[in-house]
Amino acid sequence: MDAPAAAWAERWFAHLRTERRLSPHTSVNYARDLGAFTVFCDGQGVTAWPQVDNFHVRSFAAREHRNGLGPRSIQRRLSSLRSFFNFLIREGVVKSNPAEEIKAPKAPKRLPKTLDTDRMARLLSPPEDDPLARRDHAMMELLYSSGLRLAELVGLDLTDLDLGDRTVRVLGKGSKTRLVPVGRHAVTSLSTWLRDRAGIARPEETAVFVGQNGRRLGARAVQQRIDRAARRQGIDLKVHPHLFRHSFATHLLESSGDLRGVQELLGHTDISTTQVYTHLDFQHLARIYDQAHPRARRRK
């Protein structure tokens, strides 16, 4: 690609950060996807974005598939390209989007793993008499109580918590704010941690969860502490922060059946994203069937 093409790529990256306000993680993925496509175009002798057509994008997707990239990753790369070319259309650089009609290979549906209620109860058993153990317990209670993403948890400030009202204000994907209820156990655990926090956090620190250095706890540290807590409880599953969100959604759906409500609590824009959690076990479905279907109800 020539210098003007590279300059448009840089302008798009700035657009992602400043206008769309995507998370750093998402922006890095988009940049990596466009970088892979740029290398492909260089090999095809393409030097400017208006030269790119459907054939180039289709060939790129096919090559990525042959090289072993999974369907979901290819779909993300195509989504990145569609976003980039829509930006170029807006700026008058190209007239059409060559990635618009290109589809990735179908990916098999993967149901999210969850912790059952028994293992979750073990994981959330009372912590050791140690401030950092109580902090970890508060984090896990909040993750399970309110279905937060990892980035949402580490981004929480003290002003986001209202334990009197039992709510937490969350800044989710796309900088969208939502208000989420906090359960009774999580409120108790958070209250205990906040008392401990007063003796650990630096005076200017606003984060709810801090490390031994008194500063905001990072995502990697949260992952490590949760993994350590799970291994200590002998849980035979790789436990990570998002597993709490999966479990929150699944257990709530099993109890309520309210898909729209769970969608709001999770902060999903599209309900199809929430529908992955409707994998209720067969016994639960059979019980509903026996209770509800006119030809299945048992006589009293």
Where in the sequence numbering do the catalytic residues fall? 149, 173, 242, 245, 268, 277
Please check whether residue 245 is in contact with residue 266, taking contact to mean a CB–CB distance below 8 angstroms.
yes
Give, in order, the Cα–Cα distances in Å from 142 to each of 126, 135, 186, 205: 14, 11, 5, 20
Please check whether residue 74 is in contact with residue 61, taking contact to mean a CB–CB distance below 8 angstroms.
yes
Q: What is the DSSP string of 111-148?
A: PPP---HHHHHHHTSPPPSSHHHHHHHHHHHHHHHH--
- As given in the structure block, the two tokens for residue 55 are 């054939």
Give, in order, the Cα–Cα distances in Å from 241 to each of 39, 153, 169, 189, 229: 35, 9, 19, 17, 12
The residues, any chain, with a CB within 8 Å of residue 286's CB and separated by 6 or more, are none
The residues, any chain, with a CB within 8 Å of residue 13's CB and separated by 6 or more, are 27, 30, 31
The SS3 of residue 97 is: coil
Instruction: Return d(Cα 275, Cα 279) in angstroms, integer.
Output: 8
Instruction: Return d(Cα 34, Cα 8) in angstroms, integer.
Output: 11
**Angle at alpha carbon of residue 230, lines to 117 and 256, rounded to 5°:** 20
What are the helix and strand counts (H, E) for the chain?
13, 3
